Amino acid sequence: MSLHRYFRCTQEGTAFVVEVLRPVGSLAEEDVMRELDEIIAATAGQPTCKMIIDFHQTAYFGSSLLEALRIIWTKIEDREGRMALCNLSPVGKEIVQIAKFDHLWPVCETRAEALALMQ
């Protein structure tokens, strides 16, 4: 079993939940890319994909994480996938809004709210 430093992916019902464990410095770090590939591989077999990104362990992040979200999104949107973000800190929300990523995906206060939205 590989150790997850940046992302932990679990399945809750029909949705995949990706917890962001720490700020991502750059996607050039091998662990980041490997863990990102694992998430993409885990969802690959699904005809449609519901993805929740949970930020409760990470108060802030930059464009590298936004880029990771964009990569995940490009892999699932073709399959009528859906994605939601939850548990963002005030600064985290600010960053998502600056990038206008809240126009792409709903931002929920809690994981339960995001799961309900995905049903």
Partner 1 sequence: MTRVLIVDDSLTDRKLAGGIITRAGELDVHFAVDGQDALDQIELHLPDLVVTDLNMPSLDGLALVKAIREQYPMVPVILMTGHGSDAIAVEALRTGAASYVPKMRLADDLVDTVQQVLAVSHADRGRARLMRRLQRQQVEFQLENDVELIMSLVQFLQDAARGMKLCDDADRVRLGVALQEAIINACFHGNLEVSSVLRETDHHAYYELAKERAAISPYAERRITVSVSISALEAVFVIQDEGPGFDPHSLPDPRAPQNLERPSGRGLLLMQTFMDEVRFNERGNEVTLVKRRRPSSPEQESP
Q: Which is nearer to partner 1, 14 or 63 (CB)?
A: 63
User: Phi, psi (5° rounding) for residue 82?
Assistant: -130, 150
- When asked if residue 100 is in the footprint of partner 1 (CB under 8 A), the reply is yes
Of 38, 66, 93, 106, the one binding partner 1 by CB under 8 A: 66
Per-residue x/- mask for partner 1, residues 20 to 49, rule CB under 8 A? -----xxxxx---x----------------
**Binding positions for partner 1, rule: CB under 8 A:** 25-29, 33, 59-64, 66-67, 70-71, 73-74, 90-91, 94-95, 98-101, 103-104
